[in-house]
Structure 1
Amino acid sequence: MTSPRWARRPEGSNWGEFGPDDQAGRLNLIGPEQVLKGIAEVREGRTFCLSLPLDLPGGNKLNPRRHPPRLFATERLGEANYNFPLAREAAQFTDVISDDAVLLHTQYSTQWDALSHVGGRFDADGDGEAEAVYYNGWRAGQDVVPPPDPTAAPFEGPCARRLGIQVMAERGVQGRAVLVDLHAHFGDARTLVGYDELMRVMAADKVTVEPGDMVCLHTGFTRIVREMGGQPDAERLHGAAAALNGRDPRLQDWIRDSGLAVLIADNYAVEAYPAAEGHGDCAALPLHELCLFKLGIHLGELWWLHDLAGHLRAQGRSRFLLTAPPLNLPGAVGSPATPIATV
């Protein structure tokens, strides 16, 4: 199997299986049937917001390159356009107007990773020389384009000409989701969860994952974040809660073979960072490489799953309807999200 963009694909990848020009990856597994399966899980008509307030975690100690949103007023007649009486522009008007804008780091808080977020250096041409490529062979410098001047702000125009977050937004992202409650079994302690640990939890809670399901991992991490009130203790957070062991080869095989459509967690990176050593994988974030680069599986991070997890456990349930589109922001490599669970 080849493509106009690649002569060989990474081992264990699914490049080309959804078509030579595919940009949606495993979202292709979420069709009308999966939406109907999700709707069938709605029994109470109750909804849960799965987003943190977007100014959390707070500060930039967890990632020095990402900062809280800056909310500010637009300008009108040289002043802040807040509580602005339109009578100043026309005497007959009685309206009072407020209007604002925001400078937002797209992956600061509850978020989706686009498939353009992480690529890899790989010899896709088969000429013995590695090049920077993304899922399905889309090319760095051609399809994912940096600003001409990285010091210029703002950079006008989309960066991800292919694999941008808008591909995800246009599909709606709605269907059946499955919650795996790692926190109920491991508590707040830092725990590396590999295949064996994950299977034990799923067996104990009678959780099953079928092709096209959206899998959510509740670790309790964002509950700890919220308790810190916008002043995160980076040392404590880096040693808190369960996280997937991205270097576990059997866990990687399960993610590949289960047919899950997207992978979501309430922690910072879904997987443990820094990753465990000793398995010969050179990727800094091996599950990011596997999911975003090789398999086209979008990742959700820092979701608020605490309330939903408690409700589902009390009801003896694990499945629900998930509606979770990102911002339809062409060219972005990630996006805030305000997901809604309906049970």
Structure 2
Amino acid sequence: MTQRWKNRPEGSNWGDFGPDDELGRLNLLTPERVKRAVGEVREGRTFCLSLPLDYPGGNLLNPRRHPPRRFATVREGKPNYNYPLTWEEAPFTDVISDDAVLLHTQYSSQWDALSHVGALFDADGDGEAEVVYYNGWRGGEDVIGPANAHEHAESGACSPFEGVEAKRLGIDKMAAKVVQGRGVLVDLRHHLGDERTRVGYDTLMRVMEADGVSVEEGDLLCLHTGFADVILGMQRKPDLERLNRSCAALDGRDKRLQQWIADSGIACLIADNYAVEDYPSAPGEGRHAALPLHELCLFKLGIHLGELWYLSELAAWLRDNQRNRFFLTAPPLRLPGAVGSPAQPVATV
């Protein structure tokens, strides 16, 4: 156990959960808080909070992320689909189908690992910024890029870079923790509609007060904007211009909002929109993060971000039943070394 930094970012909690911590605010999901969350189950009804994995469709939202591609596995040189296991000496009746998937881990409903976004920051106190992630874990040592990057750059190859690994802060650490706790939903769509609105502290507080929403330490905060509903209505053919005008997103530059997130004690921050925060964000000053809430949550505070979840059915039920809290189960895939993962969250009310 060694402290890897002399300077820690202003407003961060580096070291507060231990010098080698890789869970961040997930540490707040204690057995006592999980038991408290189970108390929100009164009806035994469940809600799927993920989009189908082939939504939004295409790659207009992010040109680097593509829909899943499925393949049949191969048996004796043939596609292993509807394959009869029959030989003369063993007349079996079994018919087998078996497949594989090429999956972009952050294409659809997803979790961001703490290794997803770091920063150039002078953690050594020597006047030079280095690539660091939450709690001072280092780019190139703990979050490793491809060994063949130079070779690919020279050859112009377009195949995927290999050898990438988050040895620390990988999504598998989140999966092993098992994300279960009390979800709290803020229904921004009900108050703001489907037009693009940049939500700062004042607006968020006004909506929460109107609906009687309170947030406590260790809660999993979910923001319903309706963006996922808009995507579903496009039937895998997203209209980028329309999406860029659609639904609420947090104003990541709002300092009061940033401070509230830090002070609230939330364990995770989740939304049904593309990035939780509005992007492109409002203009900043000097050298600054393009994604200020990603910097605050993933880099400084260890708050995992959930994006592109599907919250509309749950939001409608909660409003009809005058509730805003529920039991949330949402582990990612236990994929060692990955910096993100598809999410298959379930709300139980």
**TM-score band w.r.t. shorter chain:** over 0.9
- What is residue 233 of structure 1 aligned with on the other side? 239
After TM superposition, give the deviation of residue 157 of structure 1 in Å: 5.3
TM-score, normalisation: structure 1 = 0.97
Which amino acid counterpart does residue 268 of structure 2 have in structure 1? V
CA separation of 1:37 and 1:232: change in aligned 2, threshold 3 A: same
Give the SS at the match of 1:87: strand
After TM superposition, give the deviation of residue 280 of structure 1 in Å: 5.5
Which of 219, 223, 228 is matched with 1:217 structurally?
223
* Residue-by-residue CA offset, 1:50-102 (whole Å, 9 max, x unaligned): 01000000000000000000011000111110000000486321100000000
- For the pair 1:266 / 2:272, whether they are aligned, the reply is yes
154-163 or 62-71: which moved more? 154-163
* Residue-by-residue CA offset, 1:282-327 (whole Å, 9 max, x unaligned): 1000000000000000000000001000000000000000000000
CA distance in 2, matches of 1:259, 1:281: 28
After TM superposition, give the deviation of residue 24 of structure 1 in Å: 0.2
Note if contact 1:3-1:16 (Cα within 8 Å) is conserved in structure 2. Answer: no
Note if contact 1:248-1:279 (Cα within 8 Å) is conserved in structure 2. Answer: no
- What is residue 33 of structure 1 aligned with on the other side? 32
After TM superposition, give the deviation of residue 4 of structure 1 in Å: 2.7
**Structural mapping, 1:87-236, within 5 Å:** 87-88=86-87, 91-150=90-149, 151=152, 159-236=165-242
* Residue-by-residue CA offset, 1:249-300 (whole Å, 9 max, x unaligned): 0000000000000000000000000001256671000000000000000000
**Structural mapping, 1:284-303, within 5 Å:** 284-303=290-309
79-88 or 273-282: which moved more? 273-282
Note if contact 1:56-1:230 (Cα within 8 Å) is conserved in structure 2. Answer: yes
TM-score, normalisation: structure 2 = 0.95
Structure 1 unmatched ranges of 5 or more? none
Note if contact 2:117-2:133 (Cα within 8 Å) is conserved in structure 1. Answer: yes
Q: How many residues align?
A: 342
CA distance in 1, matches of 2:89, 2:190: 61
List 4+ stretches of structure 1 deviating above 6 A.
Answer: none
Note if contact 2:122-2:129 (Cα within 8 Å) is conserved in structure 1. Answer: yes
Which amino acid counterpart does residue 240 of structure 1 have in structure 2? S
Give the SS at the match of 1:251: helix
CA distance in 1, matches of 2:145, 2:256: 35
Note if contact 1:87-1:94 (Cα within 8 Å) is conserved in structure 2. Answer: yes
CA distance in 2, matches of 1:89, 1:143: 55
Which amino acid counterpart does residue 100 of structure 1 have in structure 2? D
Which of 291, 309, 319 is matched with 2:315 structurally?
309
Which amino acid counterpart does residue 56 of structure 1 have in structure 2? Y
**Structural mapping, 1:3-82, within 5 Å:** 4-82=3-81
CA separation of 1:86 and 1:156: change in aligned 2, threshold 3 A: farther
CA separation of 1:243 and 1:23: change in aligned 2, threshold 3 A: same
Note if contact 1:247-1:279 (Cα within 8 Å) is conserved in structure 2. Answer: no
Give the SS at the match of 1:201: helix
Which of 316, 329, 338 is matched with 1:332 structurally?
338
Give the % identical residues.
70
CA distance in 2, matches of 1:195, 1:11: 20
After TM superposition, give the deviation of residue 3 of structure 1 in Å: 5.2
Note if contact 1:12-1:294 (Cα within 8 Å) is conserved in structure 2. Answer: yes
- When the two chains are superposed, the root-mean-square deviation of aligned CA atoms in Å is 1.5
Which amino acid counterpart does residue 333 of structure 1 have in structure 2? V
